[in-house]
Chain A
Amino acid sequence: MKLITEIRYLLKKEMVLEWRSKYALNGILLYVVSTVFVCYLSFKTTPPLVWNALFWIIMLFAAINAITKSFVQESKGRLLYYYQIASPQAIIIAKIIYNMLLMILMSTIALFFYSIVFQNEVGDKLLYFAAVILGAISFSSVFTMISAIASKANNNGTLMAILSFPVIIPVIILIIKLSKNAMDGLDRSVSLDEIGVLTAINLIVITVSLLLFPYLWRD
């Protein structure tokens, strides 16, 4: 029970901080919108395969940019303070949940804007949206732990990309396949495999993060 209260407080704190500065939210939103626009100006029209892949590549870079800062922005003193008042599990869970909410919001807006700018037929709109949500959740669960690792090393901008790309590739392969199924309007039972494996990856990643973060947080 103590854990849940801690998570709730930490989550609230993240949101209040975000709301006060609005730095991450606005920055990332602008980033997504301008990337979509750059892509639109350079592609104009795209075949469905490219449309899907391009969306996920935009989301990938937006996610890396949004989540990298989740540990870097905390000052050393503030981290020290958290460690005194909360358990490491609560900190990492709160960060993961917060990043998930941020990413879900972001990818919904991105999808909305993207499909307005780029005309494209999506067969099964609901499943595509579910794929986007699942993608946002997977990105945030993987990247949160990696950003915690990268924040411990200096020069973490490059490091974040190097460390996270190999880990995120299996996820992105599955997501692209799932959303392609949705675009083609295939029967939903076809996509159950991908959804199952994605959920399994998420569970594994979150469990491993919970186990490993207590070792990482102490300096």
Chain B
Amino acid sequence: MSKNWWKITASVFVLYSVVTGLLLKVPMLPILHESIRNLYFHVPMWFAMIVIYTIAVVNSIRYLQTNDEKYDLIAVESVNTGLLFGFIGLLSGMIWANFTWGSPWPNDPKLNSAAIATLMYLAYTVLRSSLDEEQKRAKISAIYNIFAFPVMVVLLFVLPRLTDSLHPGNGGNPGFGAYDLDSNMRFVFYPAVLGWIGIAIWIMNIRFRIRKLENIKNQI
């Protein structure tokens, strides 16, 4: 119980954000209308993805320091989970964009950056599958992961700010907090972010344990 408190908290937060996110009153804004509720689902995906990719990089660094296979498994499962969240984030964003901006893929730097970041991690999985020897695979993919991470940070956080974007908080647009995230929405949004980050770590944790068991089974 003491070890699982965060799983329970995350589940409660996500359930709470789903229920209240669909039921509570939201500010009526032009263009957005009721679709602003997607904020509770689309944006937490990106938060969870960034956190889980950061976990992947930290574990890749730890792998290079210790050569312990455990860290490599955590890193690869973090990337897999991050990819899942990235895809859901892209998909929920495309649905939202279709209603508010008129097309599922408007030419927006954040969309393109997110897609490229996803490509980067898909390349990571391809790199892994092209190497057979386990230790070599772990080492080289860890190196690529660390190498690609700073570029991804530039891609997601610096480049969209240099150009105009449809997203809030870019190209001189004020961020969410400035104008449309009223205090009611905050009470749903922040738990949703924390909850989804928790769920992402939980998924990664389960996949990591499955992978470890499989490895033990295969060793015999």
Q: List residues of A whose CB falls within 8 A of some B CB.
A: 145-146, 149, 152-155, 159, 162-163, 165-167, 169-170, 173-174, 193-194, 197, 200-201, 204-205, 208-209, 212, 215-216, 219
Contacts and interface: CB of A to CB of B under 8 A. Distances in A.
Interface of B: 64, 113, 116-117, 119-120, 123, 126-127, 130-131, 136, 139-140, 142-144, 146-148, 150-151, 154-155, 158-159, 162
A76 to B, nearest CB: 14
A197 B123 contact: no
Given A159-B130, A173-B159, A166 B136 contact: no
Contacts of A169: 116, 155
Question: A-B pairs with the 4 shortest C-beta distances?
Answer: A166-B120, A166-B119, A162-B123, A170-B155
B130 A155 contact: yes
B113 to A, nearest CB: 8
A167 B198 CA distance: 29
Contacts of A170: 113, 116, 151, 154-155, 159
A165 B119 contact: yes
B140 A152 contact: yes
A208 B143 CA distance: 10
Contact of B130 (A146, A153, A209): A153
Contacts of B130: 153-155, 159
B147 A166 contact: no
Contacts of A212: 64, 143, 146-147
B162 to A, nearest CB: 6
A83 to B, nearest CB: 16
B151 A216 contact: no
Given A154-B130, A167-B148, A216 B140 contact: yes
A193 B154 contact: no
B151 A201 contact: yes
B146 A153 contact: no
10 contacts: A149-B147, A152-B140, A153-B127, A169-B155, A170-B113, A193-B162, A204-B154, A205-B150, A208-B147, A216-B139
Given A174-B159, A197-B158, A197-B162, A167 B143 contact: no
Contacts of A201: 151, 154
Given A154-B130, A208-B146, 13 more contacts: A159-B126, A162-B126, A166-B120, A167-B151, A170-B113, A170-B116, A170-B154, A170-B159, A174-B159, A194-B162, A197-B162, A205-B151, A208-B147
Contacts of B142: 215
A192 B147 CA distance: 26
Nearest to A142: B151
Nearest to A204: B150
Given A149-B143, A169-B116, A170-B154, A159 B127 contact: yes
A163 B136 CA distance: 17
